[in-house]
Amino acid sequence: MAYNRKIHTIPLFKSKVTGATGTAGTSISDPIDLRDISAVGNFSMSYSIASTAATAGSTVFEYLGCPVYDGTYVAAGTFGTFGGIASGIISFSPVTIPFMKIKAVSGTSAVALITAELNVR
């Protein structure tokens, strides 16, 4: 029955420092094996973008895909753009891929402290 599908929560970043004042930065999660957990294909990410300063740089979330766990991951889509300190939940629909990484790219105005979890059903 579809209503009994389990939701898998995968930690992505825990207060991950991304970027610095004057320097853009990138953080990439560990590979996520989607072969056994994305039966329905519903994806969301809960996130928190904080800063050690009064503001955080803009942050863009992307997903990368690969057919093998330890292969070369390529950009597959962007699913969220935030202009500073923010928190919430965003849903997205990635292409069908067996392995995925989440990438956070922060701008140059200030350090972003990113915490995020992927939720898959």
Q: What is the pLDDT of residues 14-32, one digit of tens each?
A: 988 887 665 678 999 999 9
Whether residue 117 has pLDDT greater than 70: yes
Residue 2 within a domain: no
Residue 37 domain-assigned (yes or no):
yes
Domain count, the chain: 1
CA-wise closest residue to 39 among 96, 90, 92, 79: 96
Question: In this structure, is residue 88 part of a structural domain?
Answer: yes
Within a domain: residue 15?
yes
pLDDT at position 64 is 97
In a domain, 4, yes or no: no
Rounded CA-CA distance 49/16 in Å is: 9
Whether residue 74 lies inside any domain: the answer is yes
Q: Whole domain around residue 32: which residue ranges?
A: 9-120
What pTM was estimated for this model as a whole? Answer: 0.87
Whether 1 maps to a domain, the answer reads no
CATH code, domain with 25: 2.60.120.200
Whole-angstrom Cα distance, residue 109 to residue 88? 21
**∠ CA 56-57-58 to the nearest 5 degrees?**
120
Higher pLDDT, 21 or 44: 44
φ, ψ for residue 95 (rounded to 5)? Answer: -65, 160
